[in-house]
Amino acid sequence: MNIAIYAGSFDPVTNGHLDILRRALHVFPRVTVATAETVSKRCTFSLEERLNLLKQVTRDMEGVEVRAFEGLLVEFTRSLGAKVIVRGLRQTTDFDYEFQMATMNARLDSDIQTVFFLSSLEYLHLSSSLVKEIATLGGDVSQLVPPQVEDAIIQKVK
Ligand code: COA
């Protein structure tokens, strides 16, 4: 009952995502970080690469499990016996999209609640695409992602 699902594309995971995950762990004893082969966007990292990075950077976080899922997020959530989906909110521009997803997920399964955690100020402007763009142009991303992710991005954009 106390499991929450933190789902995203995590292409790749950033310090902003880890900030949301840490906040969620203050409220939920167990959080399953879930990522999928997304249909809505083409990812730079394969599903396996995204999962591996997520596993590496959450290794020391108690109560965290990393899983891949297929299909609808609400169905995956239900299959784990969970009732909460966690999402992060960075700025007001996230709101419309998140509101649409949360209401659609609620319509698909009214037993499942979406809970939002506000991003820390330092990560308000962070996104995986921006990190990849900065790295591609030779910029320093060491403050934006964990070291393992920085190495993986540098290899990828070489
Ligand atoms: N810090 C940094 N970046 C953040 C962030 C945070 N706290 N919160 C969100 N972001 C960024 C992500 O890095 C990503 O950036 P990018 O577009 O540059 O890659 C962007 O915000 C989108 O966030 P993400 O969490 O990856 O969501 P998504 O819109 O890609 O959705 C799923 C991913 C898996 C949750 C969604 O596709 C899904 O639910 N799929 C299952 C199918 C389904 O059920 N569909 C019906 C939904 S109603």
Rounded to two decimals, the pTM is: 0.94
Relative to the CA of 16, which ligand 1 atom is closest?
1
Instruction: Identify the three-state secondary structure at position 16.
Output: helix
Q: Is 145 in the pocket of ligand 1 (CB under 6 A)?
A: no
* 58 within ligand 1 shell (Cβ under 6 A): no
Ligand 1: which atom is nearest the Cα of residue 41?
A: 30
Q: Domains of the chain (ranges plus CATH)?
A: 3-157 (3.40.50.620)
Q: Are strands 3-7 and 30-36 parallel, antiparallel or unpaired?
A: parallel
| Tokens representing residue 54 in the block | 């997520």
**Order of strands across the sheet with 64-69?**
64-69, 30-36, 3-7, 84-89, 113-118
CA distances in angstroms from 126 to 45, 67, 118, listed in the order given: 18, 23, 13
- Most informative mutation of 21, 37, 38, 144 for ligand 1 (most atoms within 8 A of CB): 38
Task: Give me ligand 1 centre to Cα 137, in Å.
Answer: 24
pLDDT at 34 over 70: yes
- Whether residue 57 is predicted with pLDDT greater than 80 in this model: the reply is yes
Predicted confidence band of residue 1 (pLDDT cuts 50, 70, 90): low
* Active site residues per annotation: 17, 41, 90, 128
From residue 62, alpha-carbon distances to 25, 29, 76, 136 in Å are 9, 9, 22, 33
Model confidence pLDDT, tens digit, residues 73-85: 999 999 999 999 9
Q: Give yes or no for a contact between 11 and 43, defined as CB atoms under 8 angstroms apart.
A: yes
Instruction: Give the mean pLDDT of 84-96.
Output: 93
- For residue 144, the CA-to-ligand 1 centroid distance in Å is 17
The reply to whether ligand 1 has any atom less than 6 angstroms from the CB of 114 is no
Average pLDDT over residues 130-149: 96
Name the residue at shortest CA distance from atom 21 of ligand 1.
127
